[in-house]
Amino acid sequence: MKLYTAYGHPNTGNKAPWFRIEDNKVYSSYGNPEITENNPLYIIKGDNVFPSRSHPSGKSGSPWYRIKNNKLYPSVGHPHGSSILPWFSMK
């Protein structure tokens, strides 16, 4: 599954996938100009997405995103704060 930037994301309009999901782990994809890390950047636990040890900001106990209706919304742990606008859509 791929994650594409949605209308709430600061870099919306990118047609290439920003992230890819494999086995509840989120990896950077070729559409992401910011991060080229090959290790998982996020871990999915239920409906919450947490930064992993490989994330540039480091591991966090607070979720950065919440998943609802195949969209990822910034959550309480995200540096930009939570949002009612989705940042990513899952396809």
Angle at 82 between CA 52 and CA 6, to 5 degrees: 80
- What pLDDT digit, counting tens, does each position of 73-86 carry? 999 999 888 999 99
Domain that holds residue 73: 1-91
Quote the pLDDT of residue 54: 87
CA distance 48 to 68: 9
Quote the pLDDT of residue 14: 74
- What pLDDT digit, counting tens, does each position of 19-54 carry? 999 999 999 999 888 777 789 999 999 999 999 998
Q: Into how many domains does the chain fold? A: 1
Global pTM value: 0.88
